Structure 1
Amino acid sequence: MMHKFSRRNFLAAGATLVAAEAVAQTSQGAVPEAPATGAAVPPPPSQGRPYNPVVTLNGWSLPFRMKDGVKEFHLVAEPVEREMADGMAARLWGYNGTSTGPTIEAVEGDRVRIFVTNRLPEHTSVHWHGLILPSGMDGVGGLSHKGIPSGKTFAYEFDLVKSGTFMYHPHADEMVQMAMGMMGLFIVHPRDPAFMPVDRDFAFLLAAYDIDPGSHVPRVMEMTDFNLWTWNSRIFPDIDPLVVAKGDRVRVRVGNLTMTNHPIHMHGYDFKVTCTDGGWVPPEAAWPEVSIDIPVGAMRAYEFDAVHEGDWAIHCHKSHHTMNAMGHDIPTFIGASKDRLSQMIRRQQPEYMPMGTAGMADMGEMSMELPSNTVPMMAGWGPHGPLEMGGMFSVVKVREGIAPDDYADPGWYENPPGTEALEWTGDLPDPVRQISARTVLTPRPQGS
């Protein structure tokens, strides 16, 4: 059978052969040492094109070395133990000692060579989610290339032809490997540092796990009933705050590799959506929001000017996603009296505590014994009491006078006099209620 062979076919085939030969050669050469730790706030690059590094919440950026004009990185896929919160650790799979894996940062126009060493018990691959690259470098095991066997190192090499926010994750036994925490951010900065500049650039990945109380390993077969919702595999109150100097231009990049969408809501500000994983949004098309929905397998970036000083919540607006270790088969007891039942139970179990009669807020203040390696459903305290939050929640802390390189937690904001809601004991206007035959107050007034 004859195949039509055009100039375009010939050039594409030649480029593929050159790339394959380059990978074969580099995979036999010296591989850069794989870092296992890194600074949360990376310094500006000492070599290569300049860029303003991102701050990965509870994470770090992977160092690189320059070799013959190519930026070389080394990722190691391996089992890791990740502390999700104080007193609770998960046995996951990740990269370079962490899950979520380290952030890869480079610049539009760079050529990168990424060595991937597999220390997992099965083969793996790495897909560079959203990047434009040769088919053989796309990282779909069995389609793009053979899977990376245990104990072997493969080299991926390609040019970064566009800037933006991207991700990396396996495309080999994907259901298991991603459920075990294998994912990371890939940030490509614009070639021109004057394009879309910001003072502070934050990034994090959304991940969900189903880990039974008292256990350490995720249930990888779960599809919908997750009980731990994380940013970079951390849960509130152990997620880093976003510390900002008043007046800064701030960017927040969010990627979603869970199995559901997440409406990320930030208090105190409206913002402009400036980037998707498809590219930068033209300034005239950027749209204002206070919540931005992050679809599955996608990322969004938004920007704002930090003009409002204070402590501002940032969280997923699905209410169960700001809870920890959720049990989904618990009956609702709101409005039910458990006094007599509690007395009977306490005869056998004196430490019994009834919950849920007036809602679940009392969980935020209770100190009760939990199974080992388990966190409370609600956790975290603020300056005025329990925050009754967990999971996908943090705080944007805007302060006057923070130095450009300072990301240390400044503590809680003290509201100036006259700007804090307090108890009112003065005169009140009469309340007005709708009177309807179809709606009555609960409980019903006597005689009604």
Structure 2
Amino acid sequence: MLNRRQILGASAALVSTTAWAKTSNMGLPEAAVMATAETQTPIRPTSGPDYTPVVTLNGWTLPHRINNGIKEFHLVAEPVEREVAEGMMAYLWGYNGQSPGPTIEAVEGDRVRIFVTNKLPEHTTVHWHGMILPSGMDGVGGVSQPHIPAGKTYVYEFDLVKSGTFMYHPHSDEMVQMAMGMMGLFIVHPKDPAFMPVDRDFAFLLNAFDIDPGSYVPKVMEMTDFNMWCWNSRIFPGISPLVVSKNDRVRVRVGNLTMTNHPIHMHGYDFEVTCTDGGWVRPEARWPEVSIDIPVGAMRAYEFDAKYEGDWAIHCHKSHHTMNAMGHDIPTFIGVDKKALTQKIRKLQPEYMPMGTNGMADMGEMEMEIPENTIPMMTGWGPHGPIEMGGMFSVVKVREGISADDYSDPGWYENPPGTQAWEWTGDVPDATKAKGAKTQITPKPMKHG
């Protein structure tokens, strides 16, 4: 983590002259910057109520300082370069060097003061999504406050009156700025450490971009067509695994700032939905799931006990959201014989490779040439071959004996003997087949004796 001092003069525009009078003699807090896309070890609390800090997948927590009992943070809205995955960079807008911006973490009952410096080429604001606060701090440009002009700094100050998972994003040229990657998480921990305790607390945002193969900047003029489906502006295999010690109580918080819903499915476990945008779900109202749909502009948190060792997939169950760099005008060639056509094309283009005649699995194995700054539609290799995934996909890695602050990748799980699917080489029983499309009546079981 790098730190830099933002040198700003007395001409900085603040929310009001009253706010300036409160803060002018304090100076701005350090504006921390993150230069890597790797998941950072969370910051343990050093004062106030204890809590398990959140682990932001491929992200980090923004440091703060205490000033007369107020927690002060400094967000810098600015153009950033984000490594979406190895081999691809995106030129985005974000906060403090990254998109999404750093996670802000505090405790219910805290008073926070957040300096926002605008280094974008246009004005901006910050909306604190889902939080209860004064109208003038809500961050809707033109409604609750003036827009923050380029080069200026505004201050937001309010009390955290409830715990939960919240988000922040602009409410100023919102379509463009969110499509460019401007968003972040705001986690408010309960003031009672005994309320909803967990051992591991993961969080990430669902976001999406429309970046043409070979290019760097998202297309932002319409918000219905995307080809890069991301968690925290990362795509598989660039998304970090969720590393868990066996028997940990685990929480996963997921916020959705894309333009469509996402059914997030986790293998190997059932879980309880324990939190929504509105707050914590009462114990008697929780429900069991293995998939949870995250609506647009919403968040859901679920919890489980990590009883079962292994590598368990976690992904969006909209299958096309686990593929990337897709062209949407490609015809389907399944069942088409391309042999004669391939011979003709190879006379002009010797490297031509026919694809899609047997499905798309061959995309996961090919080492075909693609444009610069582009990744394959499906990629990633595991211990047993190509994983054939991309986009919104990662792995929950449950292992025995991982220490409390260890989130490093433990490698692939080695299945114990007798617990892995194997090839059958003996006789195979006849497979019953349906005889037609009509509803069939299940035969009654035969009586014996």
Q: Please give the TM-score of this superposition, normalised by the length of structure 1.
A: 0.92
TM-aligned CA distance change 1:162 to 1:438, over 3 Å: closer
Instruction: Give how far 1:22 is off.
Output: 4.8
CA distance in 2, matches of 1:48, 1:438: 66
Instruction: Give how far 1:401 is off.
Output: 1.1
Q: Counterpart of 2:24?
A: 28
Q: Counterpart of 2:404?
A: 404
Select between 22-31 and 366-375 the one with higher mean Cα deviation.
Answer: 22-31
Q: Counterpart of 1:6?
A: none
Q: Counterpart of 2:34?
A: 37
TM-aligned CA distance change 1:338 to 1:438, over 3 Å: farther
Give 4+ residue runs of structure 1 displaced > 3 Å after superposition.
Answer: 19-22
Q: 1:163 and 2:159 equivalent?
A: no
| Alignment of structure 1 residues 113-152 onto 2, 5 Å | 113-152=113-152
Give the match's secondary structure for 1:342: helix
Instruction: Give how far 1:223 is off.
Output: 2.0
Gap regions ≥5 residues in structure 1: 1-18, 440-448
Q: Counterpart of 1:369?
A: 369
CA distance in 2, matches of 1:283, 1:306: 19
| Alignment of structure 1 residues 219-298 onto 2, 5 Å | 219-298=219-298
Q: Counterpart of 2:387?
A: 387
Gap regions ≥5 residues in structure 2: 1-14, 440-449
Q: Counterpart of 1:328?
A: 328
Give the match's secondary structure for 1:272: strand
Q: Deviations over 1:347-394 (max 9, x none)?
A: 111111000000000000000111111000001111100000000000
Q: Deviations over 1:152-178 (max 9, x none)?
A: 100000000000000000000000000
CA distance in 2, matches of 1:222, 1:413: 42
CA distance in 2, matches of 1:395, 1:168: 26
Q: Deviations over 1:394-430 (max 9, x none)?
A: 0000001111111110000001111100110112211
Q: Which amino acid aligns with 1:282?
A: R
CA distance in 1, matches of 2:170, 2:46: 30
Q: Which amino acid aligns with 2:320?
A: H
Q: 1:83 and 2:83 equivalent?
A: yes
Q: Counterpart of 1:301?
A: 301
Q: Counterpart of 1:13?
A: none
Select between 322-331 and 158-167 the one with higher mean Cα deviation.
Answer: 322-331
CA distance in 2, matches of 1:97, 1:363: 33
Q: Deviations over 1:19-51 (max 9, x none)?
A: 956523245341101000287112312234322
CA distance in 2, matches of 1:438, 1:336: 30
CA distance in 2, matches of 1:410, 1:199: 18
Give the match's secondary structure for 2:32: coil
Q: Counterpart of 1:419?
A: 419
Give the match's secondary structure for 2:31: coil
Give the match's secondary structure for 1:115: strand
| Alignment of structure 1 residues 337-356 onto 2, 5 Å | 337-356=337-356
TM-aligned CA distance change 1:22 to 1:417, over 3 Å: farther
Q: Deviations over 1:87-112 (max 9, x none)?
A: 10000000000001000000000000
Equivalent residues of 2:231, 2:239 under 8 A apart: yes
CA distance in 2, matches of 1:353, 1:87: 22
Q: 1:197 and 2:202 equivalent?
A: no
Tell me the percent identity: 78
CA distance in 1, matches of 2:152, 2:23: 10
Q: Deviations over 1:257-291 (max 9, x none)?
A: 00000000000000000000100000111110000
| Alignment of structure 1 residues 73-112 onto 2, 5 Å | 73-112=73-112
Select between 339-348 and 242-251 the one with higher mean Cα deviation.
Answer: 339-348
CA distance in 1, matches of 2:229, 2:99: 14
Q: Which amino acid aligns with 2:20?
A: A
CA distance in 2, matches of 1:22, 1:197: 39
Q: Which amino acid aligns with 2:365?
A: E
Q: Which amino acid aligns with 2:294?
A: I
CA distance in 1, matches of 2:47, 2:100: 26
Select between 220-229 and 167-176 the one with higher mean Cα deviation.
Answer: 220-229
- For this pair of structures, how many residues does the alignment match? 421
- The two structures, once aligned, show a CA RMSD in angstroms of 1.4
Give the match's secondary structure for 1:136: helix
TM-aligned CA distance change 1:101 to 1:437, over 3 Å: closer
Instruction: Give how far 1:140 is off.
Output: 0.2
Q: 1:433 and 2:429 equivalent?
A: no
Instruction: Give how far 1:434 is off.
Output: 1.3
TM-aligned CA distance change 1:265 to 1:65, over 3 Å: same
